[in-house]
Amino acid sequence: MQVAWSLDGAETFVLEAIRSFATDRACPTPPADERWLDVASRAGVLSVVLDAVGRAGHPLPANASRSRYFGVTTQLRARAELAALIRALGPTTVRWVVLKGPILADIVYRRPAVRTYTDLDVLVHPHDLGEALDALEGAGFELVDRNWELVARSGRGEINLTIPNGGLLDLHWHVVNDGRARSQFSVDVRSMVSRRVTVDIDGLSVPTLDPVDTIVHLALHASLSGGHRALWLLDLQQAVLHGGCTVEELRERAQEMRTDLVVQVMLARAARYVDQRLEEWASDIRTRVSWTRLCEMVSGSAPPLGVRPGKHTGRLVFSATRATTGSSAAAVIRSAGQRGILMLRKPVTRETLHASDGTPADRALWIAGARLSE
């Protein structure tokens, strides 16, 4: 049985440190018990918290240099990964954008080496998926997900490849990976890619989503991933703070995509735990409905501090948020039922996706499915 969280000193400090970073206030003094390092790591915000602690003039733990070193090496690795990607896709007619990762680290966040990441996400126009896959493989990228029968049957919106220098690439033809969830929204990735903008990252011209689409995508990613990590909420807050779009533009785009409920739920959760200024944005996106209020109630007892055994995270509710209260409730029921089924049936895992299975016809079927998607 999972129970609501009763925050201890380390957890309270991490949440306060996140708020201080987000709102540019002085970070409180860290507790003597360095368990807060593990709490911050579980929530995905260790580099952020260390930055806030250091800027406030507090002494850093002896082992903090490892995290800062990781942040710097992440940026160096990203340059090589982006350069390899540009060399592979640049000469083609593929329409593509980079998501999250280096865009957040170098453009959205304003402090270097604070937003760390471990893989590179690329979204291609659905009509260009086959050409993109061929170009990447021709440039030395290698498939990780090789179970084409499973990929085609499930209609996945992404597959994984390794980058020649050893990193991981998530190749998306849609921003919603699960086919059933995808059908509940009206996210037109063709339009998202057509609205792309180009940003400069250390001399590299990198295409990415426009600021409004970036916020919608970050809200979708945070929600569908379970909403249980503070990093995702901070990403959203930083994009709103530094993106330059208006709440009116966001409301119009989110309503057009039928993602306004998702955006509202995640903005409200970010307002509670990261920056209360986002509450005005959450209120202006749409009228609050019963699902919003349910999520706010769940959010109050489930801080975004990652997964901790025996503690309620709210993942079941947040990941089920769809376009309406009715479709969200149906998704919760379906998800709860699937959890029971998975106890009796072998689940789909990374290992099953990585296993070689299927034929070239299955690969062609997956690519055709992307082209025919609405």
Query: What value does the mean pLDDT take over residues 190-206?
Result: 96
DSSP, res 229: B
* pLDDT surpassing 60 at residue 236: yes
Using CA atoms, how far apart are residues 346 and 329, in angstroms rounded to an integer? 26
* 346 has a pLDDT exceeding 60: no
Stretch 188-199: mean pLDDT:
98
Range 85-90 contact pairs with CB under 8 angstroms and sequence separation of 24 or more? 85/120, 85/122, 85/163, 85/169, 86/204, 86/205, 86/206, 87/139, 88/135, 88/136, 88/138, 88/139, 88/141, 89/122, 89/132, 89/135, 89/136
Residue 54 pLDDT exceeds 90 = yes
pLDDT of 190 > 60? The answer is yes
339, part of any domain: no
Residue % of the chain over a pLDDT of 90: 81
C-alpha 94, offset from chain centre: 23
176-190: average pLDDT? 96
Q: CATH code at 114? A: 3.30.460
pLDDT, tens digit, 9 for 90 and up, residues 278-301: 999 999 999 999 999 999 999 999
- Domain, as residue range, for 117: 78-209+348-374
Task: Tell me what pLDDT residue 5 has.
Answer: 67
Q: Is residue 113 part of a domain?
A: yes
Question: Does residue 214 register a pLDDT over 70?
Answer: yes
Q: Is the pLDDT of residue 343 over 50?
A: no
pLDDT value at position 341? 46
pLDDT for 342: 47
Amino acid at the residue 353: L
Instruction: Kindly tell me if the per-residue pLDDT of 126 is higher than 80.
Output: yes
Give me the amino acid identity at 161.
Answer: L
> pLDDT confidence of 79, banded at 50, 70, 90?
confident
Residue 98 resides in a domain: yes
For residue 4, the model assigns a pLDDT of 64
Return mean pLDDT, the chain: 92
Q: Is the pLDDT of residue 374 over 70?
A: no
220 within a domain of the structure (yes/no): no
**How many folded domains does the chain comprise?**
1
Half-sphere exposure in the Cβ direction for 62 (13 Å, CA): 0
Close Cβ partners of 338 (under 8 Å, ≥ 6 residues apart): none
182, part of any domain: yes
Q: Which amino acid is at 355?
A: A
Evaluate if residue 25 carries a pLDDT over 50.
Answer: yes
Given a cut of 50, whether residue 331 has pLDDT beyond it is yes
Q: What is the DSSP letter of 227?
A: S
Tell me how far apart the alpha carbons of residues 159 and 243 are, in angstroms, rounded to a whole number.
Answer: 28
What pLDDT score was predicted for residue 351? 65
**From residue 80, how far is each of 142, 177, 209 by CA, in Å?**
16, 26, 21
pLDDT at 349 > cutoff 80: no
Which uninterrupted H or E stretch holds 367?
helix 360-372
pLDDT at position 163 over 80: yes
**Residue 184: closest CA among 125, 260, 251:** 260
pTM of the entire predicted model: 0.94
Averaged pLDDT, 353-361: 86
Residue 68 has pLDDT above 80, yes or no: no
Q: How many CA atoms lie within 13 A of 252 on its CB side?
A: 6
What is the spatial distance between Cα 312 and Cα 306, in angstroms, rounded to a whole number?
Answer: 10
Q: Which residues of 57-91 are buried (b: 16+ CB within 10 A; e: fewer)?
A: eeeeeeebeebbeebeebbebbeebbebbbebbee
